[in-house]
Structure 1
Amino acid sequence: MATRGPRIQALRHLPWLVFLFSTTRVFCASPSKVPRLGVHGPYGARNHHGKVKVQSLAPSDHEFRTFYYNQTLDHFNYRPESYKTFQHRYVVSFKHWRGPDTMAPIFVYFGEESSLNDDLGSIGILSDNAARFGALQVYIEVMLAAWFRLKYPHVALGALASSAPVLYFDNITPSNGYYTVVTKDFKESSESCYKTIKQSWFEIDKVAAKADGLSILQKKLNACKPLEAAKELKNFLDSLFSVAAQYDRPPRYPVDLVCKGIDSAPEGSDVLDRIFSGVVAYFGKKPCYNLDAFFSAETLEGWTWQTCSELVIPIGRGSNDTMFPAEPFDLKEYIEECKSAFGHFKEVLRRFSSNIIFSNGLRDPYSSGGVLENISDSILAVYTTKGAHCMDILPATIGDPDWVVLQRNIEIEIINGWILKYYQDLLENSS
Structure 2
Amino acid sequence: MAGVVVVGSMWGDEGKGKVTDYLAQKADVVVRYAGGNNAGHTIVYDGKKFALKLIPSGIFSGHEVIMGNGMVVNPKAFLEEVKYLNDAGIDTSKIRISDRCHVILPYHIAIDNIQEERKGAHSIGTTKRGIGPTYVDKYSRIGIRMGEFIDEDLFLERLKEVFPMKVMEYPELAEQFSVESLFEEYKEYAKIIKPLVCDTGILLDQYLQENRKVLFEGAQGAMLDIDYGTYPYVTSSHPGANGVCEGAGIGPLYIKEAIGIIKSYTTRVGAGPFPTELNDEIGDFIRERGHEYGTVTKRPRRTGWFDAVVVNQSRRISSLTGIALMLLDVLSGLDTIKICTAYKYKGEIIHGLPSTVKGIEEVEPVYEEMPGWQEDITDVKSFEELPVNCQNYIRRIEELIHCPVVMFSVGPDRSQTVVLKDIEF
TM-score > 0.5 by shorter chain: no
Greater share of strand: 2
- TM class by shorter-chain length? under 0.3
